[in-house]
Every structure is written in structure tokens, then in C-alpha cells.
Amino acid sequence: MISETFINLGALSIILFIVGIVLLILEMLRPGFGAFGITGIVILLIDIVISARSLIGGLILGAAISIVVTAMFIIVLVCFSKGKFPKILTNDSEPEQIEQLVPAVGSIGFTVTPLRPAGCAVFDGIRYNVVSNGVFVPEGDRVRVAVTEGNRIVVVQI
């Protein structure tokens, strides 16, 4: 019964199986919205319906496909956990150099909001959230960057 189920598979059934598995592999390697995975599952279900000559044959094909998909998922999971996939598949490329996100110490700019002690100032045409050194600085006054700590910019009035 089992051997008869697999021997009588036609070319259409084999093509549908391969396409369905390839779509599932694409979904595993490049997860996204799920369109590839859902389409792959639907194609495999259509393959089972077309290929099955009886309910028992359909159940056997469904079990075989489930075993193949589970084995593929385990292989992909193990390979990802051990870092065996090429960088193009895992998106682990070297990070690009990021521009400095704060103005350099000593840069001179002007406030666009009052600093009480926090507010905004413009340096080299770019607006930044800044903090004064504890004093009130009115809008439009010139300021100089005294200290940068991470993304915290401390300015003094000049």
C-alpha cells in the first residue's frame, strides 16, 4: 500500500512537491510576510489532493510531506544556531560606518527653542536636542558644545 502510493506519483505531483518545498525553504531562509510559506503549504496540500487515490493514500502522502518539512526545519534551525549559513542569507554583513550623530565638542550653533535646561539647537544646519549646563538660555542665542556623552549634548551660552 505505501510503496504503491509513492510509485504511482505523476510528473505533475513531483513538480508540485518540488515547488512547494522550494517555497518553504525560501520562507525559512528569508522570513518575511509569509507569502512564500503559505503558498508552499497550499501547493503541497494541492499536491496531496491531486496525488491521493484514496483517503489512506492522502494521509500517507501528508505524513511523508510533514516528515520532510519537519526535517528541513530542524536542519535550518541547527545550521542557523551554529552559524553555518553564508552571510548573504543571514544578513550578518559588517556594519557600515555611521556618521557621528552629535556635533563635535567646540562646535558653535544657536538655539531654536529656549533651553530650560533642555531644548533644541542647530549646529551646521542640523537640529539637535541639547541640554544647557543648568542655566536658562533664551531662543536664538549662540551656544557652544561643551561635552557630549553618548547622544547627550551639553552646551554653554557664549
Q: Are residues 50 and 85 in the same domain?
A: yes
Asked whether residue 135 carries a pLDDT value surpassing 70, the answer given is: yes
Q: Which residue has the higher pLDDT, 32 or 99?
A: 32
Residues with Cβ < 8 Å from 11, sequence gap 6 or more?
none
User: What confidence category does residue 156 fall into, taking pLDDT thresholds of 50, 70 and 90?
Assistant: very high
User: Does residue 146 come out as left (phi exceeding 0), alpha (psi in the -120 to 50 range) or beta?
Assistant: alpha
Q: Are residues 29 and 79 in the same domain?
A: yes
User: For position 123, which CATH number holds?
Assistant: 2.40.50.140
Q: Are residues 46 and 85 in the same domain?
A: yes
Interval 40-98: pLDDT, tens? 889 988 888 888 778 887 888 888 888 988 888 888 778 777 766 655 555 555 555 55
Is residue 103 a part of any domain in this protein? no
Is residue 133 a part of any domain in this protein? yes
Burial 111-131 (b: 16+ CB within 10 A, else e): bebbbeeebebebeeeebebb
Is residue 102 a part of any domain in this protein? no
Q: Are residues 76 and 130 in the same domain?
A: no
pTM beyond 0.75, yes or no: no
Supply the range of the domain harboring residue 44.
2-90
Q: Are residues 38 and 72 in the same domain?
A: yes
Q: Are residues 7 and 85 in the same domain?
A: yes
Phi, psi of 106 (to 5 degrees): 100, -10
Q: Are residues 139 and 86 in the same domain?
A: no
> Which grid cell is 51?
496525488
Is residue 101 a part of any domain in this protein? no
pLDDT at 54: 81
Is residue 98 a part of any domain in this protein? no
How many domains does the structure of the chain reveal? 2
Is residue 97 a part of any domain in this protein? no
* Identity at 124, one-letter amino acid code: D
